[in-house]
Structure 1
Amino acid sequence: MTLASRTQKSQRGFTLIEVMVAMSIFALAGIAILKSASEHLSSVGKIEAITFANWVASNRLNQLQLDPTWPPKNNAKGSMEMADRTWYWKQTVTKTNDNDLRSVTIFVGEDETHNNSVTSVVTFVAKPTNGR
Structure 2
Amino acid sequence: MRKPLSQPRRQPRGFTLIEVLVALLVFGLIAAAAVGAGSQYVSGYERVRDKTLAGWIADNRISELRLQDQLPSISRNSDDEDYGPFRWRVTTEVKATAEPTMRRIEVSVAKYAANQPDPIPVHTLTAFVGQK
Same fold flag (TM > 0.5): yes
Higher deviation after alignment, 33-42 or 93-102: 93-102
Counterpart-to-counterpart distance in 1, 2:13 and 2:118? 68
Question: Which residue of structure 2 lines up, in the alignment, with residue 38 of structure 1?
Answer: 39
Give, in angstroms, the shift of residue 18 of structure 1.
1.2
TM-score (norm 2): 0.77
Question: Which residue of structure 1 lines up, in the alignment, with residue 52 of structure 2?
Answer: 51
RMSD: 2.4
The sequence identity of aligned pairs, in percent, is 27
**Which has the larger helix fraction?**
1
**Aligned partner of 2:121 among 113, 117, 130:** 117
Counterpart-to-counterpart distance in 2, 1:94 and 1:57? 16
CA offsets 1:21-53 (integer angstroms, 9 cap, x no match): 111000110111011112211221221121111
Aligned residues, how many?
Answer: 124
Unaligned runs of 5+ in 1: none
Report SS of the residue matched to 1:13.
coil
Counterpart-to-counterpart distance in 2, 1:115 and 1:85? 11
Higher deviation after alignment, 12-21 or 71-80: 71-80
Counterpart-to-counterpart distance in 2, 1:10 and 1:52? 66
Q: Which runs of 4+ in 1 moved over 4 A?
A: none
TM-score (norm 1): 0.77
Unaligned runs of 5+ in 2: none
